[in-house]
């Protein structure tokens, strides 16, 4: 799939942005005080990442300037639904950035944004949950897409806050658990594929024969170990710890998405 | 009594097909398709369809499915299932996202690198409406391709599934095949190998 790199970038960045917003919203509204400056800069970063995702995705089309026509099949096409919901997510991030002042406003706008984000990820996963590619036609697609939101997203927020506020919000328990789930999902995916149709078995072979798969496993394991170490030590970690964690999960999830497309054997 | 709406489908006779590719080439030439794309493909299929080794060919194009995955996937609604069974692609709507090619279990829609849009067989619907047969049908020297009405066909004489052809129940493929007959002629080479 030579044209798949635009899809790799779009799905990865959009899901990370959605996860990052959800995390920032929870911290901002329910957990602890973040300065307005840090919140706004973080939200604008999330919007910028989302905008890059949209621009890249348009270049996947043969006719980028006719992209608006992709809105025409909302009743049947998950791709149309994704194309409707992701800009709605972005619009509500914008509203949250500039209009959510009170806790009630933050809750209403924040939850609406999170719901649009979650529906976007669900729609993206449904685009690929299709019988023509047996490796994708199961729950691992949905799980993998949500994990891309849940793993790099919050660590991006952690990194932004570490850089902007010069303090590390302690996510170690969360990161350890989610990195473990991400590791587990790889094992589950390979075993699901191996017990599937011949095309899925072929996908499992392509996956495990790829060095990228093992680099992904190694980076996820390293992220799990690093977050676990600081969890046991009961320390939040430094800016460099968070930067390392972010780099590890970015590499793992990005490689995972490349592998998703490259190992999807058609019937 | 009102006349029952026809449900057009391809009937491919494997007993007749010799793999000459006349269908592929005539379609490509008639529609002036880009060199990299075809609307019809001929390939060799299992030699053991009948139990005895025999070379078999299968000619396929769009299967004009009852539940077309291309139409469900397409974000622009470029595909429509006509009442006569034909799944038609409207190139004016297409934006070249290629989602239909991914979703079709048969990988039928092809990307035209010049138009930057998809292309697929429309069962020569304009010719059918004018009372003519599709180009691939008329060009086959063995008359191995026919257009049939699924309401009229005797389903006990045909099959919808073949080895190497995606399960017809996924999208309700309308293509039907006549299986090759068994043969008593065993190739000399194979026989002599066996008796060595
Ligand atoms: S064969 Fe593929 S392109 Fe043709 S109607 Fe069926 S799903 Fe659509
Ligand atoms: S390539 Fe064209 S026909 Fe195919 S899904 Fe995209 S817009 Fe629809
Ligand atoms: S029916 Fe027409 S468009 Fe379809 S394969 Fe035959 S010649 Fe080509």
Probe target for ligand 1 pocket from B65, B100, B111, with the most ligand atoms within 8 Å of CB: B65
Ligand 3 centroid, distance to A47 Cα (angstroms):
47
The pLDDT score that the predictor gives to residue B46 is 81
Torsions phi, psi for B173 (to 5 deg) = -55, 135
pLDDT band at B192 (very low <50, low <70, confident <90, very high): very low
Which of ligand 3's atoms lies nearest the C-alpha of B135?
Answer: 7
Q: Give yes or no for A132 touching B (CB within 8 A).
A: yes
Confirm or reject contact between A58 and chain B (CB < 8 A).
no
* A99-140 tens-digit pLDDT: 998 899 999 999 999 999 999 999 999 999 999 999 999 999
Domain contains B14: yes
Q: Which residue segment(s) compose the domain that B167 sits in?
A: 8-195
> What is the distance in A from the centroid of ligand 1 to the CA of A266?
14
What is the DSSP code (8-state) at residue A28? I
Which residue in A75, A86, A130, A196 has the most chain B C-beta atoms within 10 A of its own C-beta, making it the best mutation to test that interface?
A130
CATH numbers and ranges of domains, chain A = 2-262 (1.20.1630.10)
Compute the distance between CA of residue A130 and CA of residue A78 in angstroms, rounded to an integer: 11
Residue of chain A whose alpha carbon sits nearest to that of B167: A267
Tell me which residue in B75, B104, B115 faces A73 most closely, judged by beta carbons: B75
pLDDT reading at B196 higher than 60? no
State the pairing for strand pair B145-149/B8-13. antiparallel
**Beta strand pairing status for B110-112 and B87-89?**
unpaired
The predicted pLDDT at position A14 comes to 98
Q: What is the pLDDT of residue B1?
A: 57
Task: Find the CB nearest A69 among B95, B99, B104.
Answer: B95
Q: Is B65 in the pocket of ligand 2 (CB under 6 A)?
A: no
Looking at the predicted structure, is the pLDDT value of residue B191 above 60?
Answer: no
Distance A9 CA to ligand 2 centre (A): 20
Residues B2-15, mean pLDDT to the nearest whole number: 90
Look at residue B174 and tell me if it is in a domain: yes
Tell which phi-psi region holds residue A229, choosing left (phi > 0), alpha (psi between -120 and 50) or beta: alpha
ipTM: 0.90
Contacts of B73 in chain A (CB under 8 A): 77-79, 127, 130
Judged by its nearest atom, the ligand closest to the C-alpha of residue B128 is 3
Q: Considering CB atoms only, which of A76, A127, A131 is closest to B170?
A: A131
pLDDT of residue B55: 83
Q: How many CB pairs under 8 A join A and B?
A: 79
Which one of B91, B129, B136 would you pick to mutate in the ligand 3 pocket, going by the greatest count of ligand atoms within 8 A of its CB? B136
Q: Does B37 touch chain A (CB under 8 A)?
A: no
At B52, the pLDDT band (50, 70, 90 cuts) reads: confident
Report how far ligand 3's centroid is from the alpha carbon of B19 (Å). 16
Q: Is residue B25 over pLDDT 60? A: yes
The answer to whether B94 contacts A62, with C-beta atoms less than 8 Å apart, is: yes
Q: Which residue of A has its CA nearest to B79?
A: A73
Residue at B3 is within a domain: no
Total of domains in chain B: 1
- Is some CB atom of chain A closer than 8 A to the CB atom of B62? no
User: Touching check for A77 and chain B: CB below 8 Å?
Assistant: yes
DSSP A197-219: -HHHHHHHHHHHH-HHHHHHHHH
- Report which protein residue has its CA nearest ligand 3's atom 1: B123
Token pair of A151, please? 């793993």
Chain B residues inside the 8 Å CB shell of A200: none
In terms of average pLDDT, the best of A171-175, B46-50, B118-122 is B118-122
Query: What is the rounded end-to-end Cα distance, in angstroms, of chain A?
Result: 15
For Cα atoms B71, A3, A18, give the angle at the middle one, nearest 5 degrees. Answer: 80
Q: Does residue B164 lie in a domain region?
A: yes
C-alpha to C-alpha distances, A266 to A63, A76, A195, A209, B166, nearest whole angstrom: 25, 22, 16, 18, 10
CA B43 distance to own-chain centroid: 11
- B68 occurs within a structural domain: yes
Q: Is pLDDT of B190 > 60?
A: no
CATH number at residue B89: 3.30.70.20
* B149 assigned to some structural domain: yes
| Concatenated DSSP letters of B98-117 | -HHHHH-TT---EEETTTTE
Judge whether B2 lies within some domain. no
Mutate to test the pocket of ligand 3, among B10, B24, B27 (most ligand atoms within 8 A of CB): B27
Give the global pTM.
0.93
Stretches in chain A below the pLDDT threshold 50: 1-2
Q: Is A198 on the interface with B (CB under 8 A)?
A: no
| Cβ atoms A191, A250 nearer than 8 A | no
Q: Alpha-carbon distance A20 to B10, whole Å?
A: 52
CB B63 less than 6 A from any atom of ligand 1: yes
Q: Among residues 90-129 of chain B, which lie with CB inside 8 Å of chain A?
A: 93-99, 102-107, 111, 115-117
pLDDT digits (tens, 9 = 90+) for B127-156: 999 999 999 999 999 999 999 999 999 999
Q: Say whether residue B187 is in contact with chain A using an 8 A CB cutoff.
A: no
Q: Judge whether B1 lies within some domain.
A: no
């Amino acid at each position: 799939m030579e044209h798949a790199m635009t899809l790799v970038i779009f799905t990865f960045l959009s899901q990370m942005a959605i996860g990052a917003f959800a995390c920032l919203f929870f911290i901002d509204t329910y957990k602890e005080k973040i300065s307005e400056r840090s919140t706004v800069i973080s939200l604008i970063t999330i919007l910028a990442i989302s905008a890059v995702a949209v621009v890249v995705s348009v270049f996947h089309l043969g006719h980028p300037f006719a992209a608006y026509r992709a809105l025409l099949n909302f009743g049947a096409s998950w791709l149309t639904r994704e194309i409707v919901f992701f800009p709605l997510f972005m619009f509500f991030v914008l509203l949250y950035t500039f209009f959510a002042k009170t806790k009630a406003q933050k809750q209403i706008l924040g939850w609406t944004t999170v719901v649009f984000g979650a529906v976007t990820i669900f729609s993206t996963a449904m685009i690929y949950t299709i019988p023509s590619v047996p490796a994708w036609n199961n729950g691992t697609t949905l799980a993998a897409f949500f994990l891309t939101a849940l793993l790099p997203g919050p660590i991006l927020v952690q990194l932004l806050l570490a850089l902007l506020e010069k303090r590390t919000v302690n996510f170690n328990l969360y990161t350890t658990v989610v990195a473990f789930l991400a590791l587990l999902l790889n094992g589950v995916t390979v075993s699901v594929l191996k017990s599937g149709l011949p095309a899925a078995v072929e996908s499992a072979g392509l996956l495990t024969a790829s060095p990228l798969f093992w680099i992904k496993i190694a980076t996820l394991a390293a992220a799990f170990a690093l977050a676990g170490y600081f969890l046991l030590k009961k320390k939040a970690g430094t800016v460099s710890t968070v930067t390392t964690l972010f780099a590890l999960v970015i590499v793992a999830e990005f490689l995972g998405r490349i592998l998703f497309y490259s190992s999807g054997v058609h019937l | 009594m009102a006349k029952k709406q026809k449900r057009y489908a391809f009937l491919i006779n494997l007993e007749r097909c010799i793999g000459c590719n006349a269908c592929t080439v005539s379609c490509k030439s008639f529609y002036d398709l880009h060199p990299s794309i075809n609307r019809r493909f001929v390939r060799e299929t299992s030699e053991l369809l009948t139990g005895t080794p025999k070379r078999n060919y299968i000619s396929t194009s769009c299967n004009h499915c009852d539940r077309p995955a291309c139409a469900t996937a397409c974000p622009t609604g470029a595909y429509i299932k006509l009442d006569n069974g034909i799944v038609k692609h409207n190139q004016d709507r297409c934006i070249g996202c290629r989602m239909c090619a991914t979703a079709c279990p048969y990988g039928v829609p092809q990307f035209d690198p010049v138009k930057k849009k998809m292309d697929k067989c429309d069962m020569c619907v304009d010719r059918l409406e004018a009372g003519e047969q599709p180009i691939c049908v008329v060009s086959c020297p063995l008359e191995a391709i026919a257009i049939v009405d699924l309401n009229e066909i005797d389903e006990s004489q045909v099959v919808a599934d073949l080895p190497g052809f995606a399960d017809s129940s996924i999208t309700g493929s309308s293509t039907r095949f006549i299986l090759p007959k068994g043969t008593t002629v065993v190739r000399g080479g194979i026989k002599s190998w066996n008796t060595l």
